[in-house]
Structure 1
Amino acid sequence: MPDSDLENRPLLDRGRNAIRRVGSVWGGFRDFILRDNVLEIAIGLIIASAFTTVVNSLVADIILPPISLLADQSFSENFLVLRHGQNASAHYHTFQQAQDDGAITWNYGHFLEKLIQFFVLGLTLYALGQLYQLFSSETVIKYTMKCPICRKDISTSAKRCPFCTSWQDGSNMSNHD
């Protein structure tokens, strides 16, 4: 449609067309956001975020302080100075002092703290999965084994390997027909 024709169309007609397009976009967004699985994922992410906060607090506030007592400083304050900052003769007592001076540091204590948080989170999630299985018929934790033929990981309850199709009881296919 040429520009001159567009200018000649009534303003009201162009407004209706714009409202129709916005309504179509809004309807598509509403259909997407209100799907069951999107809401389930959103709720799961919120719960996971809160759960992670609790586990991180468990590590930082309960587990690491006794370990820090052995080192006479906060666990995350363990660092090595790789290159001094502007004040080359300075001895840094805290990571913040080194950072303020512009020093380059290797923050192994902070890394170890995050590593401990990761393992405690994994262990806690595994324990929750085991607890859930006690009260539910559904399995959360799927146990696997190696197929003796193709060496791929398969379910321990598999009767037949989904990769190489071998029977897991050692018999040949003619016995299972």
Structure 2
Amino acid sequence: MKELDWTSFPTHFVDSKKIKLIHHGMASPDRCIQNMIEMMRYVDSRFSLDLMLVPTYHKEYFAQLEAMAKDLDNVRMLPIVSFEEIIPFSAQYDIGIFLVPPTTYNLKMCLPNKFFEFIQARLAIAIGPSPEMARYVKEYHLGIIAKDFTPQSMAQELNKLTKQDILKYKENANKTARILNAEKEGEKILALLEKVAG
């Protein structure tokens, strides 16, 4: 995805009393979205979570998530936006969260689009111990990694965060967005193709 103009994003500001998390993606049972909602029972009052979920044929599961969200004051389910709007929309948040247990091999080793969209939106990142994402979070100092995939473990890590921590991670995302983007990666692919073509 193309690097966006950092100056057009209000992500240099963090309200220490209202820290906003976002997760977007498919509402599939194997992703255990309910864990992120359950997590909000254990976080400090300064945190809120917005979910932007794409319904699948698992209609009962989606209804379950809606019911769980309605039961908590600090969780909302929002209408989805277009692909082109995901990054600008996400930029109003502080933290992008992806707490998805390894219920399949693909989910265990995943490096999803939303991870890079979080970076391009200049968000701090909160993930479980998913190895591929954790590798980037550690290398570029992008955010926090829970000890396991339980709601309580992630809540514990979130509750440790200070405003200064979040600002630091967001600034690191700003720097990383200039490295991990489609233009830079495309240059690598073109170089490889040219090398193969001789």
More strand by share: 2
Bigger relative contact order, structure 1 or 2, given CA contacts below 8 A and separation 6+?
A: 2
For this structure pair, what is the TM-score category when the shorter chain's length is used for normalisation?
under 0.3
TM-score normalized with structure 2 length: 0.20
More helix by share: 1
